[in-house]
Structure 1
Amino acid sequence: MGMGIIKIANAGQKLKRSITPKKNGFQGATNSPKKGHFAVYVGETQKRYVIPLSTLDHPLFRELLRWAEEEFGFDNSEGGLQIPCNEDYFEGLISLISAT
């Protein structure tokens, strides 16, 4: 269990680094999420969702990150955090997290 927490913490650090400003603009995509948010890619079509960083603290989202790590790993060549579920499931989960 300790290793899982470390991997989740490392994923959070990678997300924060990916949206940290650099001298020449933002690292990563040209349409970077606004401060305090990050992007994930969901489903077969890789639909992009921008969600608050505070979502990382929720146990349900942490479980989803574990699932993503098992499926894709965190060091993927696609350049974004991929979530291995369909869009309806993800939207329902985010709605549930937002309501708590």
Structure 2
Amino acid sequence: MGVRVASMVSSAKQILKLRPLIARDQKPDHHVPKGHVAVYVGETQTRRFVVPISVVNHPSFKDLLKRAEEEFGFDHPMGHLTIPCREDTFLNLTSSLHA
């Protein structure tokens, strides 16, 4: 009986540890479909965009990534990929790559 209770308590503790991760992943603004990547775009204020991974290999997009590397390096304090360009520039580029 004592071993079973200890096992149940251990399982409950594991579930409680995972609960914040599960809740965070269920937020709609954190969802990234398979084959896509989330990027934050903007110079002063940023806006989140989800783009297909196929766009990332395009030379024009690589130029944007190079600018991000030059400005932020690889250890960005916000923990996400931020591209320092105007939102309309980013939208024009990505829409032309989708066409």
Q: TM-score range by the shorter chain?
A: 0.5 to 0.7
Residue number in structure 1 paired with 2:56: 56
Structure number with the higher helix fraction is 2
Instruction: Encode CA deviations 1:14-71: one digit per residue, 9 max, x unaligned.
Output: xxxxxxxxxx6x8xx6323011001000112210000001111111001111111001
What's the % identity of the aligned pairs? 49
Residue number in structure 2 paired with 1:65: 65
Trace 1:37-52 onto structure 2 (pairs within 5 A): 37-43=36-42, 44-52=44-52
Which ranges of structure 2 fall in alignment gaps of 5 or more residues?
Answer: 1-17
Which ranges of structure 1 fall in alignment gaps of 5 or more residues?
Answer: 1-23
The count of corresponding residues between Structure 1 and Structure 2 is: 74
Structure number with the higher strand fraction is 1
- Shift >6 Å, 4+ stretches: none
Residue number in structure 1 paired with 2:85: 85
Secondary structure of the residue aligned to 2:77 is coil
Residue number in structure 1 paired with 2:8: none
TM-score normalised to the size of structure 1? 0.66
Q: For 1:78 and 1:84, locate their aligned partners in 2 and report how far apart those are by CA, in whole Å.
A: 13
CA RMSD between the two structures: 1.9
Secondary structure of the residue aligned to 2:78 is coil
TM-score normalised to the size of structure 2? 0.67
Q: For 1:60 and 1:97, locate their aligned partners in 2 and report how far apart those are by CA, in whole Å.
A: 9
Q: For 1:89 and 1:80, locate their aligned partners in 2 and report how far apart those are by CA, in whole Å.
A: 20
